[in-house]
Chain A
Amino acid sequence: MLHSLSIKDLVFTWSKQSDFTLRIPKWQVKTGEKVFLHGRSGEGKSTLLNLISGIENRYTGDIQVLGQDMAKLSQRQKDAFRANNIGIIFQQFNLLPYLSAEQNILLAQRFRSVKQAPSSEELASICERLELSSMLLKQKANELSVGQQQRVAVARALYGSPELIIADEPTSALDTQTREQFIQLLLDCAQSSTVIFVSHDLSLASHFDQQLSLAQLQQQGSEIHVA
């Protein structure tokens, strides 16, 4: 597959803010590419990620994720598609506080329709790379430090080797040094996946293969690279 993501003539209008519309004439992300997407707050970055992951459905145009036309899937199929193919890292990491780190990592796998569960070796390997000790894995998510939480969030997104990883401003709560470490860790671990990383922090752009601003994307398509 050449492209992990292919968008054409996408138009999304907020029902209550009809004067504000997200338009993307054309955007393609090659398989395995690491993309940095930046934009101002409220510009529609999260909405675009919701559209790509099949959570938001009110759009016209064409969105193909991993070769699948999202419009052709029912909500149920979209949920299953997301569980099977997309790993998501949230702004606040969003671990479920009442589950242990390990349960959080395994959570997405529970919702997958692909029955063959990733091997325990894969979990062990991810945890080793992310320096998640077995003792730490047993701890409740709300007992972990911010650094530990981000590593668990990355492990959750990577577990099951999803082809596409979406990260929605996961570094906004981190200081500069931790931010750099986090990006490096993510990109090291997600070498085989396509990564779409959304942030308003331009200083991170250099880590990625492709850098885009949402404003430019809306006007001209994906050929513009941020300087």
Chain B
Amino acid sequence: MLLKLVLASLWSRRVMAILTCTSIAISMLVLIGVEHLRAEVKNNFERTISGVDMIVGSRTSGINLLLFSVFKIGNPSNNIQWKSYQDIVNNSQVAWSVPLSMGDSHQGFSVIGTTADYFEYFKYGDKQQISFKQGEAFKYLYEVVLGADVARKLGYNLNQSLVMSHGTGKVSFTHHDEHPFKVVGILKPTGTPADQSLYIPLQSIDILHQRQHIHNELLSEVPLGNTYQPQLSAFLLGSKSKIAVLKLQRDINQYKPEPLSAILPALALRELWKIVGVVEISLRIISWLILATALICMTTMLLASMKERERELAVLRALGAKAHIIILLIVAEALILTLIGALAGYLLVTVGLLLGQPLLEQYFALYISPVVNLVAVGRFFSIVAAAAVLLSFIPAVLAYKKSLISGLKQ
């Protein structure tokens, strides 16, 4: 009965009600949208690398090492000698290792010299292995495996020939066009920077830089071996036991022949997120401010509508409606407006994500899940509903007092 009364009353003031709902919906859209984006970005960030116990580079800060080795941002301060690499991977605690050599690019995408072990040991997300959408890992010198974004954006297919450029810029004046590479594999998307790289055999990097020169025509059939001793930018390590990781890290950090840094990826990621996290907090504050504005607008709308509802409430009082019914009417109205607005906001976010996800993926390489975290949404709904109830008490109590004073004068 009360609900019927509230709905009928709201319907009679529908233009104002729709405007209020819209403003709440837009605020919820921003709040849920920003929160979802924040959670997804953080999630994607944390998913970047997993299953790797340690990243080793020449002596530098942990964040720098993480940035250039995983995020492909910046450059290594120095290279690691092949001998140092061999010394470390021969440590009895090391289970596996993946060498990385960077510094070349193709159409603005970084080229990573590595071994086929990369595709086995480099994991992302919840220890998910990189898998191939087409083809397989390189077996010969002039073969290349493409990250998903590289293949998609540049429209490359298997067996296509590519030329690498020297340096990491988008525009390079030095092309290694005497050494074309054949595409032998295309990776499935991972939603990490791994999608935005090209992978070639470690030895090929050395050949590109002509530290080793082998004639072009013979190379395509040259199998990989340990003949070449290239310099490395970094390498990934897996240890035999988790307990040994810290000791191994200490040993590497104290490695005498060459100054090296070993970092634990999870810790370095957390450290890096702290820096990025300021933006996260700012975003949250902004979205909450927007919501607060919408709720205040709703209270203002309720207060403004009290004037035109004076008679309605006085009639209800005169007919015997108890004080709590008058208060309940106003509070229920605020709650209904807020929940409809919030629900509309949630639906807008979901529809927006479904429609916008391909665009985000295409233009920003952002893999945002279209499924909003319902626990977070539920939390927002509860907070917003509680705020609406509290705020609506102001006009509700005023209306009750007014209805007592005005009595039957209407």
Contacts and interface: CB of A to CB of B under 8 A. Distances in A.
Say whether A and B bind each other: yes
Interface of A: 46-47, 49-50, 53, 55-56, 75-76, 79-80, 82-84, 86, 88, 90-92, 94, 96-99, 103, 107-108, 110-112, 156, 166, 168
Contact of B322 (A47, A80, A156): A80
B319 A107 contact: yes
B325 interface: yes
A111 B320 contact: yes
Interface stretch (B173-181, B363-371, B402-410): B402-410
A21 B8 CA distance: 41
B315 interface: yes
Contacts of B8: 96, 98-99, 103
Contacts of A91: 410
Interface in B1-36: 1, 5, 8-9, 11-12
Given A46-B407, A83-B321, 8 more contacts: A46-B409, A49-B408, A83-B319, A90-B408, A90-B410, A94-B311, A96-B316, A98-B11
A100 B347 CA distance: 33
Given A94-B311, A96-B312, A98-B12, A108 B408 contact: no
B318 interface: yes
Nearest to B9: A98
Interface of B: 1, 5, 8-9, 11-12, 311-312, 314-323, 325, 404, 407-410
14 contacts: A49-B408, A79-B322, A82-B318, A83-B319, A83-B321, A90-B315, A92-B311, A96-B316, A98-B9, A99-B8, A107-B319, A108-B319, A111-B320, A111-B322
Most A CB within 10 A of own CB, among B9, B316, B318, B404:
B318
A108 B320 contact: yes
Which 6 pairs show the lowest CB-CB distances between chains A and B? A83-B320, A98-B12, A111-B320, A50-B407, A55-B407, A108-B319
A211 to B, nearest CB: 21
A53 B322 contact: no
Given A88-B408, A94-B410, A111 B315 contact: no
A107 B315 CA distance: 10
Contact of A110 (B1, B312, B409): B1
Nearest to A55: B407
A103 B11 CA distance: 15
Contacts of A108: 319-320
A53 B321 contact: no
Contacts of B323: 75-76, 79
A55 B404 contact: yes
A110 B315 CA distance: 13
A99 B12 CA distance: 9
B309 to A, nearest CB: 10
